[in-house]
Structure 1
Amino acid sequence: MIRFALTFCAAMAASVAHAAVDIKQVTSPGGINAWLVEEHGIPFTALEIRIRGGASLDLPGKRGATNLMMALIEEGAGDLDAQAFQTKREELAASYGFDTGDDVVAISAQFLTENREEAVALLRDALIEPRFDQSAVDRVREQVLSNIAGDAKSPNAIASAAFDAAAFGDHPYGSSLDGTVESVTALTRDDIVTAHANALTRDRLYVGAVGDITADELGTMLDDLLGDLPATGPALPADAEFALKGGTTVIPYDTPQSVALFGHAGIERDDPDYFAAYILNEALGAGGFESRLMQEVREKRGLTYGVSTFLVSKFHADLVLGQVASANATVAQAIDVIKAEWARMAQDGMTQEELDSVKTYLTGAYPLRFDGNADIAGILVGMQMIDLPPEYIVNRNDMLNAVTLDDVNRVARELLQPDNLHFVVVGQPEGLEADAAAGN
């Protein structure tokens, strides 16, 4: 009965995915491009907006400005202060989200058809006319500083910061988008206004919309919502050089369990071999309990509760990363096992059985991503940002299934670099020889 239920759910999800591929490419009268999936069964629309640049556009000495600015977007707009803005949003039963990434700022909105005009007008005020009242700046600044203080005591955050700094140096990727205590404390309201003008521009807009709205309605709505943003923004940063070589960095920290972040340079998302790399990574460390590293490090030796790997494709750098946590007495052994398995996968590759299993999982799981208007809108905007065509949704599983064992194993030899694998370990690891050491 359970197997039948799972099969039925997968079949239903697949039908949702196929229904979701009726993508309309919309251009507003003002020239704003968007992808739309109409779904009129429920009087509700989800809107996902991405603007390239993000925290990488922070000016020198102003690290954290974009992040703080985006956190202030709905803290008052137009004639409404922070409290009045939130009250109005709740009255409209609208939901807004604002976020900052290394390469993008993200705006999310969900609203009912009956309240669409007012909900969009309120969001427009937040994007075009944010108040940035000094009281709100001071309050939200304290929240950011609290997050920074928390990260300073988090072994995982310490490892990530050290890895990024060593890998990317002075590039924006080399420091936290939150900024430092010093940089955030020094930010002025004028800095926030400048970050807003730089980050929210029309020239790098990507929009996905799903729900109870037509193409004509969407075009008009986008012009009303986004048409008054600045036309262009500052230049994007150059690509980042990955500077880390193979080795180990140890950062002493008083904790009974060490954490390790490890990795090396990766593969671009538009590389013809990306699907092969994606399958390879699933087998190596992204596939949960079935992955090689989980089997070797946890199941066979009991050295960790979890170990995982992931492909990271940023706009200016690509990585293969992994993470593991183990007791101080055993983390050195865990790292040795990871290194050995990394080298074994690079040399011997996958088996046909592993390949078939991974393909079955990945093709079956894909339709489950299309679960709700907001999820689909996010997929649409993500596809645009990496230049995937609308038909990708239909063709994706066929392209994945077309990857052969020879493809995967060739990519394993080319992508996995055991000699360049660098570990940043935070804790008090026993018996671990470090190439570099730093205090926290």
Structure 2
Amino acid sequence: MKNHPSFPRHIAVVVTLFAAVLLPITPSQAAAKIQHLISPGGIEAWFVQDATVPLVAMEYAFAGGASQDPADKPGVGNLVADLLDEGSGDLDSKTYHERLERRAIELSFSVSRDNFRGSLRMLRDNKEEAFELLRTALTSPHFAKEDIERIRSQVMSDLRRETTSPSSLAGRKFLELAFGNHAYGRQAAGSLDSVPTITVDDLKDYTHRVIAKNTLKIAVVGDVDPGTLGELLDLTFGGLPARASLVPVPDVVVAKPPQRAFVPLDVPQTVITFGSPGIMRHDPDFMAAFVVDQVLGGSGLSSRLYREVREKRGLAYSVYGALAWMEHSALFIGNTGTRADRAGETVNAIEQEVRRIAAEGPTEDELDQAKSYLKGSQMLQLDTSAKLAQALLQYQLDRMPIDYIEKRNAMIDAVTLDDAKKAAQRLWGAGLLTVIVGRAPQAAAQPAAATAPTKPD
């Protein structure tokens, strides 16, 4: 499975053929079982042994990601991710994929802003072959010319398709507005100009610099004992270079709001992407920001933006906002789509709610509802082995303690109304960065004339 990452993303979601049969794992059970495993060769992993079903799920990541692409060649890491499983060791691409399919092994790679990530799923009885196939992909990829050109062609096709996608154009423009010339402002998948220039030497250089043991984080959940897992980890990762050779990435603050950009595109529906500087993961105000974000634009049907934009005005089917955090920056980002002739009204409604919550904060009732939702939804986010492995990897990348799952709900409960008001002011007190993609800039620049509510397209 090829993964072309979108932004923002912090826990990669990989659909596997095992998803339907994985049984629930509650957060409390998971927390009690999490082991800090160290293999005989010194490879570390967070591990949950679970024999409920005969499956093993592993998520892992190396530091670096798309931020390690050369400045003039964005897309190198993404192309590496698409090519690592296109033949390795003594197996060509066709034979390699036949081996995966024969054993029902799910193996994939992807890049985020800060990490090169991998995912591996297998039946318990196929674990030795699965880990061996992963080992060869990481240590001896072919990067054969015919495979490079085939995958490059697929990436270019995706990029050309994105030139007529309002959502893709809005995301690209928002990153440029927010981050300028910083690495975070470039597209992880690359561009129509950069991808054709990527050479096999670029792919090999990226692999040698990024895929190394000293930045490796691993999470494993499934039916395997600690001793066997330790041996598999040593066989798979033990032969990698000891240390990565990463180019330093500077910290960057998101551009100061308010700013607005318009991208003309002749489509029936206008897409609006909006955001603001965020709050870093280890900032003391982060959890308060996490809760107040749920009040403004979070999941479910009770957020302010959902009520004001969809329910009261009928401007859009959906609208959301979420916190995104990286190693060197953080932001709040949201999105909606509306009819072209109602774009201005939609932008005004969003900005009005943002100004209101920045000035007043949430109510006590809104705060309580947000806390309840966030605590309850955690159960659903960790209800399979695959989801739990993804979460455990993300907690490591975020440098959370191994018992974070147990502590999380208490941290949410500890957020006070004053904390939430302070976080709201920090997030939205200066206003929004807004990108509008669609027809007629005047429809976005001015409020629409008063009309009776209509059902959105």
* Counterpart check, 1:60 vs 2:80: no
* Counterpart check, 1:297 vs 2:309: yes
How far residue 362 of structure 1 moved from its aligned partner, in angstroms, is 1.4
1:278-293 equivalent positions in 2, closer than 5 A: 278-293=290-305
* Counterpart check, 1:85 vs 2:96: yes
2:158 aligned partner: 147
Corresponding letter in the other structure for 1:371? D
2:208 aligned partner: 197
2:332 aligned partner: 320
Tell me, yes or no, if the aligned pair for 1:53 and 1:236 is still in contact at 8 Å. no
1:151-300 equivalent positions in 2, closer than 5 A: 151-233=162-244, 234-300=246-312
Corresponding letter in the other structure for 2:426? E
1:24-103 equivalent positions in 2, closer than 5 A: 24-103=35-114
- Counterpart of 2:146 (choices 113, 128, 135) is 135
CA distance in 2, matches of 1:194, 1:413: 44
1:46-89 per-residue CA deviation (whole Å, 9 max, x = no partner) reads 11111111111012322211100110011101111010001111
How far residue 334 of structure 1 moved from its aligned partner, in angstroms, is 1.0
1:232-287 per-residue CA deviation (whole Å, 9 max, x = no partner) reads 22234111232353122111111122111111101011112211111101110113
CA distance in 1, matches of 2:418, 2:252: 31
After TM superposition, the structure 1 stretch with the greater mean CA deviation from structure 2, 364-373 or 327-336, is 364-373
CA distance in 2, matches of 1:106, 1:215: 23
Tell me, yes or no, if the aligned pair for 1:288 and 1:308 is still in contact at 8 Å. no
Going from structure 1 to structure 2, the CA distance change for 1:410 and 1:245 (only over 3 Å counts) comes to closer
Going from structure 1 to structure 2, the CA distance change for 1:43 and 1:426 (only over 3 Å counts) comes to same
Corresponding letter in the other structure for 1:296? E
CA distance in 2, matches of 1:267, 1:134: 44
Corresponding letter in the other structure for 1:215? P
* Counterpart check, 1:334 vs 2:336: no
CA distance in 1, matches of 2:419, 2:194: 47
How far residue 93 of structure 1 moved from its aligned partner, in angstroms, is 2.2
Corresponding letter in the other structure for 1:40? A
**Paired residue secondary structure (2:41):** coil
CA distance in 2, matches of 1:287, 1:60: 35
* Counterpart check, 1:118 vs 2:129: yes
2:455 aligned partner: none
* Counterpart check, 1:405 vs 2:417: yes
Tell me, yes or no, if the aligned pair for 2:276 and 2:427 is still in contact at 8 Å. no
CA distance in 2, matches of 1:43, 1:328: 52
Aligned length: 421
How far residue 378 of structure 1 moved from its aligned partner, in angstroms, is 0.9
Corresponding letter in the other structure for 1:214? D
How far residue 173 of structure 1 moved from its aligned partner, in angstroms, is 1.0
Tell me, yes or no, if the aligned pair for 1:35 and 1:207 is still in contact at 8 Å. yes
Structure 1 residues without counterparts, runs of 5 or longer = 1-11, 435-440
1:370-424 per-residue CA deviation (whole Å, 9 max, x = no partner) reads 222111111111111111112111121111112121221222222222x341211
1:375 aligned partner: 387
> Identity of counterpart residues, as a percentage?
36
1:308 aligned partner: 320
Alignment RMSD (CA, Å): 1.6
CA distance in 1, matches of 2:154, 2:142: 18
* Counterpart check, 1:426 vs 2:428: no
1:149-201 per-residue CA deviation (whole Å, 9 max, x = no partner) reads 01111111111111111221221111111111221111111111112112211
**Paired residue secondary structure (1:182):** coil
CA distance in 2, matches of 1:364, 1:395: 14
TM-score when normalising by structure 1: 0.92
**Paired residue secondary structure (1:153):** coil
CA distance in 2, matches of 1:192, 1:287: 39
Tell me, yes or no, if the aligned pair for 1:56 and 1:236 is still in contact at 8 Å. no
Tell me, yes or no, if the aligned pair for 1:75 and 1:136 is still in contact at 8 Å. yes
1:6 aligned partner: none
